[in-house]
């Protein structure tokens, strides 16, 4: 795997001893059966009593030249890792060809980055890596890999921190938990146990079992660097995956449930919110029904439920986000300015003389009615139905649900303003824990914005975006209750844990305790993210409830209406460690 950017191949502390691939694979399997260690490395891996098995793969770079990937597949290989980048400016010239052709041949393909920790920061290398591999961070490809064979001069502690920073950056930017590749020398001598939170791909050649150092188990094992594979000229690295094909897919292949597919604007949430509140007022917000701002206030609330934050207002400095509006923009012209200037939005308008509905208008988008001559922005609505030119909207003031736009236009208004909000992608999912006794929750990332609550020491939430202010302070964007909110990140710490996403059509009741008989304390909408801090099975209901922090207190949601946002499972990893210890003890006893 390892080459420097000038193309000089080298080995960095690897163990290279001679041996035969099949012989050692058979011996390894027999040893696992004999010792009774099923090597169950993931919840979706090998069932109890099932024999351990390996899936065969390879890893390549430009050193292998042109590859006939169809022959590789026919030779029995089902996955491959491909060199993508090195340092902060080198891209392997065979990367795209290998990824595309390998995938077309039927292999699961993944990208790796060769690191130079003693030359560059972790973030700079991770950002460069992501910039190159982004087209392959999609369904059917393997998660990213850090190739660590350099940086021993930093010392164990600093190098381990570099690795953790790199991997956290990958997770922050993509929502994917990557893999660490390293050799037995580094795993034993240059890394500490803090890196064991990441899945291991170990390099140790021609031995019956790899030495994993500070890790107690491995997921991938590069067991030979002089393999022969059909379709490839010369030597090639050979790899095992410690499980079956389904396990490989479940644990390391990107698919639709991965956080990378979380939309930035969740239109299902916006419409779900509108269906709940179109004919009533949410007490989390101010009531503008008597002041002329009710319709824009309602649409603002729906957009916020969908994940948007309107903190920039109409002028970039929060104009129109009033000190008592709880984050909304309650006037139509100001909402228009925010959407076209500060949100990722497509805008068009029509009048009675050229009426049409744009092809791009979707449920969850915004329509503001107005006058062609005079006030262009008078009545804000949210789209809840679309079938050709038939469009239904929800709105306050008149309090309507799925009312046809023909009821407004052209009889009442003769201008329609259309706003399509691009879905986008959440670029991070980070659990944070509050370290302050009381931390203000605000409607924007500055102390100039209204406080809508406080969160306390130990409470846990999920940041899905951040903003760095002019003083260099980073603010977390997160769901505080049914609203997007902001808090100062420097009074929090990032932690690992389990994230759940609300998965409903309309809304989900949040309750004070784990059961439907308990008090409803609020609502949650599709796509909202919360840190799962506990769970409890309600036997009378036959339902598992999840404990979350919602509006600065512990509350509960029904687990069946959520989806897990995949993250490396620390509880499972502890089981793996325990199995590894038991295996070693049994081997010592047998010897």
**Average pLDDT across the chain, whole number:** 86
With a cut of 70, say whether residue 590 has pLDDT above it.
Answer: no
Tell me, which fold does domain 267-421 have in CATH?
Answer: endopeptidase fold (from Nostoc punctiforme) (3.90.1720)
SS3 68: coil
- Whether 59 sits among the annotated catalytic residues: the reply is yes
Mean pLDDT of 276-293: 90
With a cut of 90, say whether residue 186 has pLDDT above it.
Answer: yes
Q: What gap in Å lies between CA 493 and CA 579, rounded to an integer?
A: 31
Mean pLDDT of 357-368: 96
With a cut of 70, say whether residue 577 has pLDDT above it.
Answer: no
Exposed / middle / buried, residue 210 (Cβ in 10 Å: 0-12, 13-18, 19+)? buried
Which CATH number is 430-496 given? 2.30.30.40
**What is the per-residue pLDDT for 155?**
93
Full 3-state SS string of 123-174: HHHHHHHHHHHHHHCCCCCECCEEEECCCHHHCHHHHHHHHHHHHHHHHHHH
CATH 3.40.50.1360 assigned to domain 21-258? The reply is no
Mean pLDDT of 402-424: 94
Least confident of 52-61, 82-91, 267-276: 52-61
Model confidence band, residue 440 (pLDDT cutoffs 50, 70, 90): very high
Model confidence band, residue 49 (pLDDT cutoffs 50, 70, 90): very low
Q: Which of 92, 149, 482, 547 is catalytic?
A: 149
What's the helix, strand, coil split of the chain in %, to 5? 25, 30, 45
Least confident of 48-52, 284-288, 570-574: 48-52
Residue 424 near residue 381, CB atoms below 8 Å: no
SS3 52: coil
For the stretch 92-114, pLDDT in tens is: 999 999 999 999 999 999 999 99
With a cut of 80, say whether residue 261 has pLDDT above it.
Answer: no
Percent of all residues in the chain with a pLDDT value above 70, rounded to a whole number: 86
Q: Which of 3, 147, 465, 547 is catalytic?
A: 147
- Whether 390 sits among the annotated catalytic residues: the reply is no
Model confidence band, residue 586 (pLDDT cutoffs 50, 70, 90): low
With a cut of 70, say whether residue 576 has pLDDT above it.
Answer: no
Better-scored residue on pLDDT, 2 or 156: 156
Better-scored residue on pLDDT, 439 or 172: 439
**Full-prediction pTM beyond 0.75?**
no
Model confidence band, residue 587 (pLDDT cutoffs 50, 70, 90): low
**What is the per-residue pLDDT for 250?**
82
Model confidence band, residue 567 (pLDDT cutoffs 50, 70, 90): very low
**What is the per-residue pLDDT for 560?**
85
| Best CA proximity match to 525, nearest among 511, 506, 545 | 506
**What is the per-residue pLDDT for 136?**
95
Model confidence band, residue 162 (pLDDT cutoffs 50, 70, 90): very high
Find all residues with CB under 8 Å of 209, minimum gap 6, and list them. Answer: 28, 31
Q: What is the DSSP letter of 253?
A: B
Q: Which of 59, 125, 237, 337 is catalytic?
A: 59
Could you tell me where in the chain the CATH 3.20.20.80 domains are found? Answer: 21-258
Q: What gap in Å lies between CA 168 and CA 207, rounded to an integer?
A: 32
| Best CA proximity match to 218, nearest among 191, 239, 189, 245 | 239
Could you tell me where in the chain the CATH 2.30.30.40 domains are found? Answer: 430-496, 499-565
For the stretch 464-515, pLDDT in tens is: 999 999 899 999 999 999 999 999 999 999 999 999 999 887 889 999 999 9
For the stretch 368-407, pLDDT in tens is: 999 999 999 999 999 999 888 889 999 998 899 989 999 9
**What is the per-residue pLDDT for 569?**
39
**What is the per-residue pLDDT for 584?**
58
For the stretch 16-40, pLDDT in tens is: 223 333 333 344 444 444 444 333 3
CA angle 147, 151, 152 (to 5 degrees): 115
**What is the per-residue pLDDT for 260?**
41
Residue 341 near residue 479, CB atoms below 8 Å: no
Q: What gap in Å lies between CA 181 and CA 112, rounded to an integer?
A: 9
Could you tell me where in the chain the CATH 3.90.1720.10 domains are found? Answer: 267-421
CATH class of 499-565: mainly beta
**What is the per-residue pLDDT for 581?**
65
**What is the per-residue pLDDT for 44?**
31
Residues paired with 510 in a beta bridge: 522
**What is the per-residue pLDDT for 256?**
54
- Whether 344 sits among the annotated catalytic residues: the reply is no
């Amino acid at each position: 795997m390892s080459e420097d950017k000038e193309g000089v191949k080298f080995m960095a502390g690897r163990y290279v001893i001679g041996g035969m691939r099949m012989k050692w694979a058979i011996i390894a399997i027999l040893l696992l059966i004999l010792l009774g260690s099923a090597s169950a490395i993931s919840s979706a891996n090998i069932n109890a009593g099932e024999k351990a098995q390996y899936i065969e793969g390879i890893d390549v770079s430009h050193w292998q030249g042109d590859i006939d990937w169809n022959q590789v597949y026919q030779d029995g290989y089902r996955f491959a890792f491909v060199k993508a980048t090195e340092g902060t400016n080198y891209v392997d010239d065979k990367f795209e060809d290998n990824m595309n052709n390998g995938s077309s041949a039927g292999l699961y393909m993944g990208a790796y980055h060769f690191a130079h920790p003693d030359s560059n920061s972790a973030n700079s290398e991770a950002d460069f890596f992501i910039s190159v591999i982004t087209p392959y961070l999609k369904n059917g490809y393997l998660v990213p890999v850090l190739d660590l064979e350099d940086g021993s001069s930093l010392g164990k502690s600093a190098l381990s921190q570099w690795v953790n920073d790199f991997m956290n950056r990958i997770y922050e930017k993509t929502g994917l938990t990557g893999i660490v590749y390293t050799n037995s020398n580094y795993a034993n001598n240059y890394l500490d146990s803090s890196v064991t939170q990441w899945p291991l791909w170990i390099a140790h050649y021609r031995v019956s079992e790899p030495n994993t150092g500070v890790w107690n188990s491995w997921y991938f094992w590069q067991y030979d660097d002089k393999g022969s594979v059909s379709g490839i000229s010369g030597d090639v690295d050979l790899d095992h995956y410690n499980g079956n094909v389904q396990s490989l897919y479940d644990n390391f292949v990107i698919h639709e449930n991965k956080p990378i597919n979380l939309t930035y604007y969740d239109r299902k949430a916006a419409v779900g919110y509108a269906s709940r509140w179109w004919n009533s007022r949410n007490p989390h917000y101010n009531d503008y029904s008597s002041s002329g701002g009710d319709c824009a206030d309602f649409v603002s609330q729906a957009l916020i439920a969908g994940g948007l934050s309107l903190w920039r207002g109409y002028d970039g400095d929060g104009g129109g986000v009033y000190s008592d509006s709880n984050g909304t923009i309650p006037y139509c012209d100001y909402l228009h300015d925010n959407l076209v200037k500060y949100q990722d939005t497509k805008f068009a308008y029509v009048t009675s003389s050229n009426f049409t509905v744009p092809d791009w208008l979707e449920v969850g988008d915004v329509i503001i009615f107005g006058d062609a001559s005079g006030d262009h922005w008078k009545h804000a609505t949210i789209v809840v139905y679309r079938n050709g030119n038939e469009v239904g909207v929800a709105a306050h003031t008149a309090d309507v649900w799925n009312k046809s736009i023909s009821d407004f236009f052209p009889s009442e208004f003769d201008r329609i303003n259309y706003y399509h909000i691009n879905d986008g992608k959440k670029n991070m999912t980070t659990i944070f824990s509050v370290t302050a006794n009381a931390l203000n929750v605000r409607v924007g990332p500055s102390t100039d914005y209204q406080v809508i609550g406080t969160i306390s020491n130990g409470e846990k939430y999920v940041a899905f975006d951040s903003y760095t202010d002019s003083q260099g302070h980073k603010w977390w964007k997160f769901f505080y209750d049914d609203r997007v909110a902001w808090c100062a990140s420097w009074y929090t710490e990032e932690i690992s844990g389990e994230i759940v996403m609300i998965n409903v059509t309309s809304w989900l009741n949040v309750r004070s305790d784990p059961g439907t008989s308990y008090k409803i304390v609020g609502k949650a909408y599709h796509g909202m993210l919360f840190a799962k801090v506990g769970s409890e099975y309600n036997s009378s209901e036959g339902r598992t409830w999840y404990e979350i922090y919602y509006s600065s207190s512990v509350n509960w949601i029904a687990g069946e209406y959520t989806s897990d946002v995949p993250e490396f499972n620390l509880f499972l990893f502890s089981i793996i460690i325990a199995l590894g210890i038991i295996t070693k003890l049994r081997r010592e006893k047998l010897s």
